[in-house]
Structure 1
Amino acid sequence: MPRPRIGVVVVTMGNRPRELDALMASVARQSVPAARIVLVGSATPLTDVAYDDVIKLPLADNPGCPGARNVGLRTLLDSGAVDVVVELDDDGLLIADDVFATVQQLHASDPALGIVSFRIADEHGETQRRHVPRLRASDPLRRGLVTGFLGGGHSLSVPMLRQTGLWAGAFRFGHEESDLAWRALDAGWKILYEPGLVLQHPKTSPARHAVHYRFTARNRVWIARRRLPLPLIPVYLAVWITLTLARIRSLSGLRAWCAGFWEGVRTPCGDRAPMRWSTAARMTRLGRPPIV
């Protein structure tokens, strides 16, 4: 069986030139070379970057991370030259040179494998709990099938993308991974968390983004309206309201979250395509029912 051809998409805003150079060098060092590499400049002209055999796609504005990634994905899908796409944060780093080889082997061995989630670790090898895509996150080295994946480093099957569609660009920031993961699971694809595939990434907090609380709340409402069976929508939202009230320590953050929640209720969320009950049951068996 022929090994799948690897494509790469990296999105940058041009504000991390040293990190981007290091990432692109680590991509070039892979033992299995990528068939296509796409660098998307989100509101940046990419005039100061020069990499061999890289397709540069500068955008005049910033459509948000999922929207910018879609530009790269469409380019790769239209080319017909790749079977699996690896997407990487521009401040990440591949510390091993066999990442693409392992991704290739994993997808070749299981045609139903739609998504492989890498492990995100800082320069000391530590993985934050929020970067382990399961509820029981105490062991970041435990491999297995999961219901979600990490946006910073992952691979996506091209046949899966042709079936499920691309990222939910309107989300801009936050929970776009869940929206794509739920679509993939509902279409019968598998998601694998493979901790042996490491993307080194500095330790951060999502709250560093000014829009974190607003988009987090809005997009949770949107994903519930888009993907959940009607009886599960109030349960899912009630769980997240409770968790948010328990976790938020900032009054301004709570105000932004509440504004985002009502924005999610009032504004169009896109086409509604609720998952099947059998998918909800499958997610529950995998350890994360679609209510939390």
Structure 2
Amino acid sequence: MTSVGVVVLTMGSRPEELRRGLESMLAQKDVELDIVCVGNGWDPVDLPAGVRPVFLPENLGACGGRNAGAAAVTGDVLFFFDDDAWLTDPDFVSRAICAFDNWPALGILQPRVHDPLSESDATRWIPRVRKGDPYESSAAFSVWEGALLVRRSTFDAAGGFGDELFYYHEGIELAWRCWDSGDVAWYAGNLEAHHPAAAPTRHDMFYRMHGRNRVWVARRNLPTPLIPVYVGTWTALHLIKSRRDRAGLRPWFDGWKEGWRNDPGPRRPISWRTAGRMALRGRPPVI
């Protein structure tokens, strides 16, 4: 049986949601789970039986916290899970593992995300340019990390999440590196995870990290000629999208400038062959 290492990341600020998510994970059937709750700057307490704590005295960000959790669990597949996510299908994990078992090239699997309190699925979590039907599965070139399954070998080949990114856009880097390793990242519209459809702007750091990491993802992962094209495309798109949110432009551009000025960490560009594979799939790494 394929074993699964579950990494639930939390700062301890949502105890009711955390317990809901952990209980939904413990309710999964016909799977072997090794579950840890990673406290990012918080010592996990009052955890259900079957969940081990991992205490990080300092908040290492989403990337560092998930990496610490991945190192603490066993499993052929890793399941990264936010503290406000939850499952209602007790066969969710077993169905996902069947996909990995039946498709050796599958490296990353992102489910469809739904908020039961909302009338529709949050389209920002459908990882394709033309969102279309959220139930339609497709290749993915960016992934949402809040309920994400990754083959351990794919995760190791990618070098895990980039600690330097701290938070935001790390799913782009992981997906690109998955494709660069020869594996496939996939959006599974037939698998459903739940998460509040809250705006990411609720996080204080959102605009700065969004702008900085958009530049850093390019500088860390793209062939040199594609870096200005990718950043230029996304800068133009952000300006268009921000017509109704002018207040966020200044912190976004502060982050954007920081992205060019500061060291993004180790550079590991994808190959031109990978860029071509992505283009043939309809998502060249310039958008």
User: What range is the shorter-chain TM-score in?
Assistant: over 0.9
Q: Residues 216, 170 of structure 1: CA spacing in aligned structure 2 closer, same or farther, 3 A cutoff?
A: same
Per the alignment, residue 157 of structure 1 pairs with 151
Cα separation, 1, equivalents of 2:64 and 2:145: 13
Report the Cα offset of residue 239 of structure 1. 0.7
Following superposition, the deviation at residue 50 of structure 1 comes to: 2.4
Correspondence for 1:183 among 177, 183, 188: 177
| Residue of structure 2 equivalent to 1:130 | 124
- Post-superposition offset of 1:149: 1.6
- Of the three residues 5, 8, 18, the one matched with 1:7 is 5
Once the two structures are aligned, what percentage of the paired residues are identical? 36
Aligned mate of 1:16, from 9, 14, 17 = 14
Q: Which of 43, 50, 53 pairs up with 1:56?
A: 53
Matched, 1:196 2:183: no
Does 2:221 align with 1:209? no
> What is the distance in 1 between the residues matched to 2:2 and 2:106?
12
Once the two structures are TM-superposed, the CA of residue 125 in structure 1 deviates from its matched residue by: 6.5
Q: Helix, strand or coil for the counterpart of 1:71?
A: helix
- Rounded to whole Å, the distance in 1 between the matches of 2:166 and 2:228 is 24
Alignment size in residue pairs = 285
Residue 21 of structure 2 contacts residue 84 of structure 2 at CA under 8 Å; is this kept in 1?
Answer: yes
Residue in structure 2 matched with residue 266 of structure 1 by the alignment? 261
Q: How far is 1:275 from its partner?
A: 1.0
Deviation at 1:145, TM superposition (A): 2.1
The secondary structure found in structure 2 opposite 1:116 is strand
- In 2: Cα distance, 1:253 partner to 1:263 partner: 16
Gaps of 5+ in 1: none
- Give the TM-score normalised by structure 2: 0.96
CA distance in structure 2 between the aligned counterparts of 1:272 and 1:74, rounded to whole angstroms: 23
1:109 aligns with 2:102: yes
Please name the residue that 2:167 is paired with: 173
CA contact 1:146–1:286 (8 Å) conserved in 2: no
Residue 41 of structure 2 aligns with which residue?
A: 43
SS in 2 for 1:58: strand
Matched, 1:252 2:250: no
Alpha-carbon distance change, 273 to 20 in structure 1, aligned in 2, over 3 angstroms: same
Measured in 2, the distance between the counterparts of 1:162 and 1:89 equals 21
1:210 CA drift (Å): 1.1
More off after superposition, 89-98 vs 32-41: 32-41
- 3-state SS of paired residue (1:35): strand
Q: What's the CA shift for 1:43?
A: 1.2
Kept in 1: contact 2:2–2:32 (CA 8 A): no
Q: Which runs of 4+ in 1 moved over 6 A?
A: none
- Per the alignment, residue 275 of structure 2 pairs with 280
Q: Deviations over 1:221-243 (max 9, x none)?
A: 11111111111111111111111
Indicate the SS of the match to 1:93.
coil
